[in-house]
Amino acid sequence: MEVSKKKPIMIGVIVMCLVLAVVITLATRREESGLDSLKYGEEMYWIKCRSPKCEHAWQMDRKDYFKYLQDHQDPMSMAAPAIVCPECGEESGYRAEKCPKCGLVFERGSVPHDFADRCPECDYSKTEEERKKAK
């Protein structure tokens, strides 16, 4: 076979080998996603009991929080399921925020039509402050 005929065949073989290598790499590579990608101890979420008799506030690891949501979510509901309060035992715990200014622990979205982290006591919002700094 002439050299001029071998060259396109060799280039074709090399391209096919590279494509095969990419396909094998992508097929065998496992990326962590969902709950598997979360690590314990990275972030804590505040939870507050809605029961007027209790109003207990506690922290929960982010991974535990999302695992609880995944295990207890009603597929027909858009709302997050209530978390069992360790103080009163009722399913009345919901995601909360702790105000960095006044220290109040309040349920997210307490101030209607505003930032979810707006403190109902002192009117501070970390989200609002970060957006002002970004401008």
Beta bridge partners of 48: 57, 94
Whole-number Cα distances in Å, 103 to 40, 57, 69, 100, 115: 25, 12, 26, 6, 17
Measure the CA–CA gap between 8 and 32, rounded to whole angstroms: 40
Task: Read off the tokens for 2.
Answer: 């002439």
- HSE, CB side, 13 Å, CA atoms: give it for residue 99: 18
Q: What is the pTM of this model?
A: 0.67
Distances from the Cα of 46 to the Cα of 26, 41, 64, angstroms? 39, 14, 12
Residue type, 19: V
Condensed to tens digits (0 to 9), the pLDDT of residues 10-61 reads 888 888 888 877 777 767 665 555 666 667 777 899 999 999 999 999 999 9
Cα Rg of the chain (Å, integer): 26
The tens digit of pLDDT for each residue in 82-125 reads 999 999 999 999 999 999 999 999 998 889 999 999 999 999 99
